Amino acid sequence: MQRILLSVDRASTWLGQTFAWSIILLTLGITWEVFSRYVLNKPHGWALDAQIMLYGILFMMAGAYTLSKNGHVRGDVLYGFFRPRAQAGIDLALYIVFFLPGVVALTWAGWTYFNESLAIHEQTFNADPLPVYPFKFFIPLAGAILLLQGIVEIVRCVLCLRDGQWPSREHDVEEVDVEKLKEMVHVKDADIAALDPSVIPPAQRQGGA
């Protein structure tokens, strides 16, 4: 079971990291449009629509990735003090009452929107129209992926209720904890000071003062 859960985590992570590169396309596109509009005096009617759609794709495809990293916003003021079983019970109730109906509705409605858009070959309303239906396809796609990751999180809640501790999950890049890094590599402040005399440990600096 744990292998299956981690496999879904990896898939969500891969998709999130892949579509994260679209921020580079966004940056380059915006930069070029600003240059073309104000320097070359050649604006493009489709540029703003393309930027909006690309940002929408980036935002939607990040949902499952963020959920797989337990990174969505929650009120941790009280939640963090609860035991794992209590946390799992709260999460499970919220997933069933709010998450599942909302994401199922998003996926179902998104598929309907996509098919309607495809049937009429919907385009943007400007001098240089862009097709809209490829963008709308990402609505049900992102919803389906988010739903799959949500099912994994529900299974994690059930396992935590059974075992009393949270199952492991796939980790990603985290902010560096300098003190923890020192412990991992067995480095002390005195060792750093020996390599660089200008670095004086805080304790010695206060003692000297």
Domain ranges of the chain: 2-174, 176-209
- Name the pTM for this structure: 0.76
Residues whose CB falls within 8 Å of the CB of residue 119, separated by 6 or more in sequence, listed in order: none
Q: Which amino acid is at 75?
A: G
Q: Which amino acid is at 209?
A: A
- Residues forming a β-bridge with 192: none
Residue 202: pLDDT over 80: no
Residue 11 backbone phi and psi in degrees, to 5: -65, -45
Minimum mean pLDDT range among 44-48, 91-95, 125-129, 182-186:
182-186
Please give the structure tokens belonging to residue 73.
């916003």
Task: Give the whole-angstrom CA distance, residue 52 versus residue 136.
Answer: 12
Task: Kindly provide the b/e burial profile for residues 41-68, where b requires at least 16 CB atoms within 10 angstroms of the residue's own CB.
Answer: eeebeebebbeebbeebbebbbbbbebb
| pLDDT tens sequence across 39-96 | 999 988 899 899 999 999 999 999 999 999 888 877 667 887 889 999 999 999 999 9
- Describe the crossing of helices 84-94 and 133-163 by its angle, rounded to 10 degrees: 140
Please give the structure tokens belonging to residue 94.
């919220």
